[in-house]
Amino acid sequence: MKIVCVARNYVLHAQEMGADPPPHPVFFLKPPTAWAASGEISYPSFSERLEYEAELVFRISRVGRPRSMEEALAFCDAVTVGIDFTARDLQARLKAQGLPWEMAKAFDGSAWWGAWLPMEPDWQSQPFRLYRGSQLLQEGRAQDMLFPLPRLLWEAARYFSWEPGDVLFTGTPPGVGPVAPGDSLQAYLGQVCVGEVWIVEARRF
């Protein structure tokens, strides 16, 4: 399994990060060990600002590469909401030095996704939301993506051929922010709660 992620795929999020929307999709990878399958997120000891980024996530069901964007949607069989956790302070330091920032994005437990749902015909219009208790943190729709899902699937496969079980994170809308130990976050797709995560104390090495 590989976890393919897209950076700055919502214009308003790019702006809140002080960046211009990219002219083409920008991909990065997380290793399988990034998946927090239990829903328990250990606050990393190397960061003092861990941030959530809620995203639509799609499950790949075919092997290979789509021959066209029209064929690309057939490579997905399910959708859910996930969270890309980012050590924002570490990422900022690495960016300032012109260095890669995988350490801030691809660490153990930096990716979570909820229960898979079938891709209904109206999936693009279904809102996805992230809550902390009763507080709405983020809300978005696939319609607001800078680059739509078929293009992401097709362009990503130019670099990384797809395999069944791969997952695609499609970028976050505006509203990212910090979490703290003791927080619990709930993810919704439409009216369905697809799962919950808990932030626990930092790991010590």
> What is the per-residue pLDDT for 42?
96
> What is the per-residue pLDDT for 112?
99
> What is the per-residue pLDDT for 203?
60
25, 6 in Cβ contact below 8 A?
Answer: yes
> What is the per-residue pLDDT for 126?
92
Residue corresponding to tokens 């211009």: 20
Q: Structure tokens of 126?
A: 């279904």
Residues in the chain with pLDDT values less than 70 = 13-19, 203-205
Specify the fold of 3-200: Fumarylacetoacetate hydrolase; domain 2 (3.90.850)
Q: What size, in residues, is the chain? A: 205
> What is the per-residue pLDDT for 13?
61
> What is the per-residue pLDDT for 18?
67
> What is the per-residue pLDDT for 185?
99
> What is the per-residue pLDDT for 15?
67
Question: pLDDT tens digits, residue range 123-163?
Answer: 888 999 999 999 999 999 999 999 999 999 999 999 999 99
